[in-house]
Every structure is written in structure tokens, then in C-alpha cells.
Amino acid sequence: MSDVEGDDPEEEEYDESFEDSYAEDSEFEYEDEEYLDEDNMEKVEVEYTYPTSETKMGTLTHRMKYEPVDVEDVQRSLEEKVKQLDTILQIGTDECRILLMRYNWNDDKLLEDFTNESLDKFFEGSGLSKNSKPVGGWDLIEQKTDESFECHICFSSPSKDQPLAVFRLGNCDHPFCIRCYVKYIQEANANSRLLIPCPEADCGLIIRLSELQQLSDYGWKERERAREEKRKETEKQSRVPLTEEEIRQKYQRDQIEAELSEFSDLEIGEGETGENEEEKKVKVEPKNKADDTDEDPEAKLFNFQERILVQEREERERRRNQTLLSKYWFNVASKYCSKHCKSFKNCPFPDCDSLIMQQGFDSNVVATLEEFTKRQLIPTVQCSHKHEFCYSCLKGDHSPCPCSIAEKWEKKCKDDTETAHWITANTKDCPECSMPIEKNGGCNHMQCRNCNYEFCWVCLKDWACHNNSYFNCTKYVEDIGEAKTAQEKSRKSLERYLFYFRLFDNQRSSLSKDRELLEQFEGKIQEMQKKSSVSWIETLFYRESVDVLLQARRELMWSYAIMYYIDPKCPKQLVEGVQCTLSHQVEKLSRLFADTEVNAVLQQKAKFLNYSNTVKKSRDLLRETYLDCIANGVVKLTRK
């Protein structure tokens, strides 16, 4: 049993609703007595990779702790670190932040050096001022009117009627015109430099965050002002016809703008983002409205979730690039993640920018990821957008198949695709009337339109024999003794490969077909939610069942890949048995999805819960069995 237990709020709600429905519906039958087992209900607070620390068969396994985070979370945790250090050193958070960045956030080494070296020397070497003045108000920005002043970057000077805004760091006296300073920081940001020194080469002071804040605020205000002016002007222009003089002025202005934009793409880009914000909102809304009445719901529902993901990502990116400061912070956090690449990994899914933070292992034997994967364990993690992937090889979830086997299998599939494709064509003939049949749903229970014969897609035998017994068609009958000649052996090997490949491929196509079907369903359910007063929580069970089905299919799929690599001499009845059970239950659930009309979903709630719980249990059993068998050496993975 797991040592860390707690109740996931979402899971709790789900359980309640489940039991409610159970209480209400007296006719409710459940097929698997065990489904209410406490084991199933336990949830953990910290997320762990599978498996639980002890499997049913008693093998002690090891888990990886992790937490899905995003860049902003990392920012917050870094800020915490800065504050912590400040309570020890008492030198100001700005200074602590620079020191930490210099030490790659290694505070132990920092504190060691801090106590060993003299303070002055330590500060000087780090680009900090010995007698630092706190930054307050707007005292760093000054409107220079002195005509003898000259910005050393652009050589512009203030004139009598036009003062020049200059900026300097709090602890040095190297003022530059604020436009140049902003561009200087932008350039540094674009190259993701973190410790940005004063532009004066001999100065060496590093710009502090609160100084950057002032610069950033100023830049923001200026842009707002410029935008406002521009808006007013365009309003004016649109009302009054222009005189010749005005047209000439406008032409000149446009030219200047064109040149400026050439100079700094970044600033113009930033300036526009704020403006786009409103436009975007306006743009998005009619889109959403159009969705409700759209003629072709399938096309748009298919990437409904994808589109939301892309929108969210764009919004986040916009926010990150909005000001100098936000961009700077983004750089700090992402650099931190890339420097600590062992504990942070990006979600590999397209258009997803969430991170996974690895938090060590729940084991006293395994300490690193290498050791973890060496034990044929799979560190499957789930990011904050519910994408499941393997933390080690960064591919989509492939449990219960170990990384090395999954990689081999994928390579083999790629190499042998030609043959396999030729053999596993898209259609199969009906075993009764020889009518070509294309499979259009995930369920393996086929019914011929022509002769009404019901059969199993996998073994092409009568469905009747599948109903009450196990799926015997997913067991491969080995006969080692008969393979005599080399030719026969290779034929046998190919046959064996094709057998599992077909199972794998079949499961894969079922998976994608089920996904399509369910995505269409998802849209319909949302519609239903709007029309009738069905609450979100009431349809939650449906989404959960969908997740269970898709995940179970994926695991089943990968379990076939393992089967190919299992030494034929090993006893594999146990794993095959578990596989058959899961296969049977997955088909049942899939069938339920295919058969249920949208309107009747709520009435079928008990059935959905019942089936998906059974599937969940069998799936866990499958994982555990595989892990146990591999860990205990009951089955060996020997094939090349």
C-alpha cells in the first residue's frame, strides 16, 4: 500500500456522484464484485509514476515523484528561494537574486563563498555595489535639459524645448538615454542574457530587478501613450480631409515609423501586442458563437481541444513577451529549467509548453532516472494539460512496455512496414459471405451488413464463442519443435511478428477511431449541457470513462509489443490471461460507447461507471503482472 495517501478533490466528487447513482438506481448491477474495493479509491497527493510501491504479487517496486508545473510556477519557486536567502544574508532581495543567478541557484556554494571571502571583494566580483542604495520611486529616470549632456550610445542631446529622458542604475553614474537603455535590455533579453551589466564597459554593475522594473514600467507607459496618440490622430484624420501640408507631414511620419520599425522589430512587436489583446478577444468570440450554429460540427469538433490549447499557449506567450520584466523573468525561469535539465522536462506534445518537475524517487535503492529505467520501469507522467508521456524517452505513454523494448518495437515496425502494410490491408472479408468489410469503429465485435453474421475482427470466428469466455484469439499458439529448417524458422518469426503487429496495429487504429468518435461525442455532450440543465459534474463520469478506455487501449497495444520480445520458452500464460481479460473488457466498454445514443448517456451512467471501473482494475492488474513478471524474471525479454 502506498505510504502517501490523500484524497484528490476531483476524485472525491466523482466517487460521491458514483455512489449517489448507485444508491438511486436499485436495478444497478455490477459485474465485478471487487470494483468498490478500497484499493481503487485511494489517491495520492504528490503525483507518482506508476506502479504503486508494492504490487499485488508482492514485489517491491519504485516510483518517481513528480509535479506538473509551468514556467510561472518555476518563477515563483525561484522567488521563494531568493527570499529565503535574503533572510539569511540580509542584503536585499535584488542582490540575492543576482548572487543566486551567478551561482546557478546553488545556495550552498554561495553561502560557503560568502562566509569565506570578504564582503567587499565578494560583492565586487559579482557585479554588485558595496554600498548599495535601495531603489525607490522614479529617481532613476531623469528629464535632462542640460544641452551639454550626450547619450554615449546614440549621441543625442537634449535641446532647449525638448528634454531628454535618461536612465541610470541606482549605484553608478552612467546615464544613457532611456530609449537606448530599453533597446539595450531588449537585445539582452532576445539573447536570453540574465546578468545584464551597465552598458559602460568599465562599470560592471549588474542591473537589478527593481531597476529593470522601473525601466519596464516606463517603456510600458510610453507605449500606451504613443498608442493613445496614434489612435487620436487616426480619429482626427478620418474625420477631416487632409490639407496638402498635412499629407506631407503624414508621409514624413510614416517614413520615420518605417525606419524605426526596421531598427527594432521587437519594440514594435511588443507595442502591438497590447492592442491585439482586445482585437483578439473580439475575434475569438464570434468564432465561438459561430461554433454553436456551425453547419459542419465534425470538422471543428475534431480539433476543438487542440484549438483551445493553441489559444491558451498564444495568450501565455503574449503575456510573457509583454514587458521587459516579464520577458526577463521568463528567461530566468527557462534558463533555470534548462540548467537543471535532470529535474525539468518539457511536455513533448505539440503546442504544449508545460513542464514536469521531477522530485526524486520513492525508493532507497533507485536514485537516478537511469537506474529507474534500468529496472524496466516506465516513468509515465501526466502534464497539466493531461498529456501522458514517458519522462525518460519523451515519447507518448508506452506502459507497460519498457523504454528499450518500445524503441526496438517502433524501429521494427518502421522497418517491416512494407510487408506488414501489404498484409494488414484495411479490409477483411466476412468469413461467412466473403463481403469485404472495413472497420469503422473501435469495437472488435463485427456484424456483416450483408449476411448479419457476427464475428470477431481479430480471429474472424463466430462472436458467440467470445461472449462468455476469454478472448482466446489473442493468445498465440507456440510450437517450437516444428521449426526445422532456417527457412521455416524465419517464416515462423515473421509469422509471429505479424501476429503481434496485427494486434498492435489493430489496437492502434481502434484507438484513433475511438478517439475520433469520442471527440464527436464530447461536442454533443457539451451541446446537451447547454440545452438541458445538466451540470458539468454530472457528465464528468463520461469523460472519465473516455480516459479509461483510451488509456486501456494504449496499454493493451503496448502489451502486445512486449509479447513479441518475450522469450518463447518462458511461461507466458499468466500475462496472456490478464491480457485477454483486459481485451475482453475494453471491447465491452468500447461497444457501450458505440451503442449509446447521446441522449441516453445519463441513463447509462451506472453501466459506464461499472464497465470503466472493471477496465481500470484489469488495466492495473495488467501493469502489475507485467512488472512483476519482468522484475522476477518469470519472463525474459531476449529477442533482438
Q: Which three cell numbers stand for residue 593?
A: 460507447
CB of 376 to other proteins, least distance (A): 39
Closest CA to 394 of 385, 411, 406, 384: 406
3-state SS record for 103-154: CCCCHHHHHHHHHHCCHHHHHHHCCCCCCCCCCCCCCCEEEECCCCCCCCCC
Of 97, 183, 553, 554, the one binding other proteins by CB under 8 A: 183
- Contacts of 516-519 with C-beta under 8 Å, sequence gap 24+, read 516/302, 517/441, 517/442, 517/593, 517/594, 518/546, 518/549, 518/550, 518/593, 519/301, 519/302, 519/304, 519/305
CB of 114 to other proteins, least distance (A): 18
170, 133 in Cβ contact below 8 A? yes
Nearer to other proteins, 193 or 515 (CB): 193
Nearer to other proteins, 150 or 291 (CB): 150
Of 29, 38, 161, 262, the one binding other proteins by CB under 8 A: 262
Count of residues near other proteins by CB under 8 A: 34
CB of 86 to other proteins, least distance (A): 20
**How far apart are the C-alpha atoms of 579 and 475, rounded to whole Å?**
9
Q: Scan residues 454-513 and list those touching other proteins (CB under 8 A).
A: none
Instruction: List Cα–Cα distances, 541 to 36, 304, 350, 443, in angstroms.
Output: 16, 20, 27, 21
Nearer to other proteins, 183 or 466 (CB): 183
CB of 141 to other proteins, least distance (A): 19
Q: Scan residues 137-166 and list those touching other proteins (CB under 8 A).
A: 152-156
Of 51, 68, 127, 523, the one binding other proteins by CB under 8 A: 127
Nearer to other proteins, 104 or 632 (CB): 104
CB of 184 to other proteins, least distance (A): 6
Of 128, 135, 180, 592, the one binding other proteins by CB under 8 A: 180
Of 108, 173, 202, 278, the one binding other proteins by CB under 8 A: 202
Taking contact as CB under 8 A, which single stretch among the options 198-206, 286-294, 367-375, 553-561 is the one that binds other proteins?
198-206
**How far apart are the C-alpha atoms of 65 and 50, rounded to whole Å?**
10
CB of 189 to other proteins, least distance (A): 12
Q: Does 112 bind other proteins (CB under 8 A)?
A: no
Q: Scan residues 208-227 and list those touching other proteins (CB under 8 A).
A: none
Taking contact as CB under 8 A, which single stretch among the options 195-203, 422-430, 460-468, 616-624 is the one that binds other proteins?
195-203
Nearer to other proteins, 3 or 259 (CB): 259
211, 180 in Cβ contact below 8 A? no
Instruction: List Cα–Cα distances, 317 to 189, 320, 321, 463, in angstroms.
Output: 15, 5, 6, 53
**How far apart are the C-alpha atoms of 530 and 466, rounded to whole Å?**
40
Which is it for the CA torsion 98, 104, 110, 113, positive or negative? negative
Q: How far is CA 511 from the centre of its chain?
A: 20
Nearer to other proteins, 41 or 260 (CB): 260
Around Cβ 618, how many Cβ atoms within 10 Å? 23
Q: Which three cell numbers stand for residue 23?
A: 444508491
Of 101, 405, 511, 609, the one binding other proteins by CB under 8 A: 101
User: Pick the catalytic residue: 390, 443, 473, 629?
Assistant: 443
Q: Does 346 bind other proteins (CB under 8 A)?
A: no
CB of 213 to other proteins, least distance (A): 20
Instruction: List Cα–Cα distances, 339 to 69, 343, 367, 528, in angstroms.
Output: 16, 9, 19, 48
Q: How far is CA 399 from the centre of its chain?
A: 18
Which phi and psi angles does 324 have, rounded to 5°?
-55, -40
Which is it for the CA torsion 551, 556, 562, 564, positive or negative? negative
Closest CA to 627 of 239, 7, 54: 54
Of 197, 297, 431, 441, the one binding other proteins by CB under 8 A: 197
CB of 193 to other proteins, least distance (A): 6
Binding mask 237-256 for other proteins (x = CB under 8 A): ---------------x--xx
Q: Does 341 bind other proteins (CB under 8 A)?
A: no
**How far apart are the C-alpha atoms of 272 and 265, rounded to whole Å?**
11
Active site residue 393: no
Chain residues binding other proteins by CB under 8 A are: 101-102, 127, 152-156, 179-180, 183-184, 187-188, 191-195, 197, 199-202, 204, 206, 252, 255-256, 259-260, 262-264
Kindly list the catalytic residues. Answer: 443
